[in-house]
Structure 1
Amino acid sequence: MINLLTIPNLISIMRIILIPIYLYLFVQGNYYLAAGLFSLSAASDFVDGYIARKLNMHSKLGKLLDPLADKLTIISILLLLIKLNLIPRVVSFIILGRELFIFLSGIITYFFGLNFIDPTLLGKTSIFLLYLAIAVRLTGINIFGDWLFYLVIPINIISAVEYFIKAYREVFA
């Protein structure tokens, strides 16, 4: 019997559970605690992948849970920042568009029984900088947060194109 409750899967589940908690804290004005929990969630994104690779704890559930937790985290916090008008609209729509594109293409890939497209170094860099920009923004450091968001945009766009090319090759090659 395959153990579905591996450490990486539990970490991904924890990341999903944290989403409404830090969103609520942020809306209630508890910015530092919200930023802390969001940062914990972001850091654990890298930890679960590391554990899965190092301890060979890959699972089909994990290949679904990890990107689901990633996209739900990014999309939910971006929607909140957009609603509260805390990040420039152009930034939010570019980043949100990329995240929705990758999320929907991952779902389509999964349902067609194809392998998920592994993230590239550029994609991981983009997500790391995005997590950092959001955490900085949640704490109210606006100038540095804006700078990070504008740094993320070109990396985000290039990584989306890179992802599209990899997905195209996976499906049509």
Structure 2
Amino acid sequence: MNSPGVMNLFTIPNIITMMRIVLLPIYLYLFVQGNYYLAAGLFSLSALSDFVDGYIAKKFNMHSKFGKLLDPLADKLTIISVLLLLIRLNLIPRVVSLIILGRELFIFFSGIITYFFGLNFIDPTLLGKASVFLLYTAIAVRLIGINFFGNWLFYLVIPINIISAVDYFIKAYRKVFA
């Protein structure tokens, strides 16, 4: 399924990714309404589907240009919007949220710049994937009110986030200027 065309829009990984984007306003709304467990459940389902769509795309060679654009967009929309909500509601320490939010915005905008230079997006590293996994876990844990463990996970995510952002910057710099 590597051929260009309209059909690449409707691969299984792309459909899963589109469902993640559709779920986003639903669990944000549920969270704002105080339905924390259902919001956390939908958020966790969304996070799990992020790993599933990547696995399916890789395992069954269902990569597409649309998917390479859509998947990171869904990731960043999810993480940034949930972080903004957690910041707004003061549910996580502000320094934690600002560091993580800064990294996510940096990667989002540098991905756009890389794309406009006509280059492919930088593939996520194992460290970046671990960072996202821990971040999703920390967010889900905080959504259901397990504060101590959730905060501990957020503080664990910070150094991993910073290291993966520096690694991403180096790779982006080399890709654009090398």
Structure 2 residue aligned with 1:89, among 91, 94, 103?
Answer: 94
Could you tell me whether the CA contact under 8 Å between 2:99 and 2:158 is conserved in 1? yes
In the alignment, residue 95 of structure 2 is paired with which amino acid? Answer: V
Aligned to 1:53: 58
RMSD, aligned α-carbons: 0.8
Give 3-state SS (helix, strand or coil) of 2:63's partner.
Answer: coil
| 1:112 shift after superposition | 2.0
Shift of 1:48: 0.5
Listed one character per residue, the Cα deviations across residues 37-95 of structure 1 (whole Å, up to 9, x for unaligned) are 00000000100110000110000000000000000000000000000000000000000
Structure 2 equivalent of residue 158 of structure 1? 163
Q: Provide the rounded CA distance (Å) in 1 between the counterparts of 2:66 and 2:114.
A: 14
SS of match in other structure, 2:10? coil
Q: Does 1:148 align with 2:125?
A: no
Task: Tell me the percent identity.
Answer: 86
Which residue is 1:18 aligned to? 23
CA distance in 2, matches of 1:127, 1:71: 10
User: Structure 1 stretches (4+) deviating beyond 2 angstroms?
Assistant: none
> SS of 1:56's equivalent?
coil
Alignment of 1:35-50 (within 5 A): 35-50=40-55
Where does structure 1 lack aligned partners over 5 or more consecutive residues? Answer: none
* Among 73, 81, 88, the residue aligned to 2:78: 73
CA distance in structure 1 between the aligned counterparts of 2:116 and 2:99, rounded to whole angstroms: 26
Q: 2:67 aligns with which of 62, 65, 68?
A: 62
Q: Which amino acid aligns with 1:26?
A: F
Aligned to 2:123: 118
Question: How many correspondences in the alignment?
Answer: 173
2:39 to 31, 34, 48: 34
Using the size of structure 2 for normalisation, the TM-score is: 0.96
1:139 maps to 144
Task: Note if contact 2:117-2:176 (Cα within 8 Å) is conserved in structure 1.
Answer: no
* SS of alignment partner, residue 105 of structure 1: helix
1:111 Cα deviation from its structure 2 partner: 2.0
Deviation at 1:113, TM superposition (A): 1.3
C-alpha separation in 1, matches of 2:58 and 2:89: 38
What secondary structure does 1:57 align onto?
coil
Please list every run of 5 or more consecutive structure 2 residues that lacks an aligned counterpart in the other structure.
none
Distance 2:113 2:100 in 1: 20
Which residue pairs with 2:10 in the alignment? 5
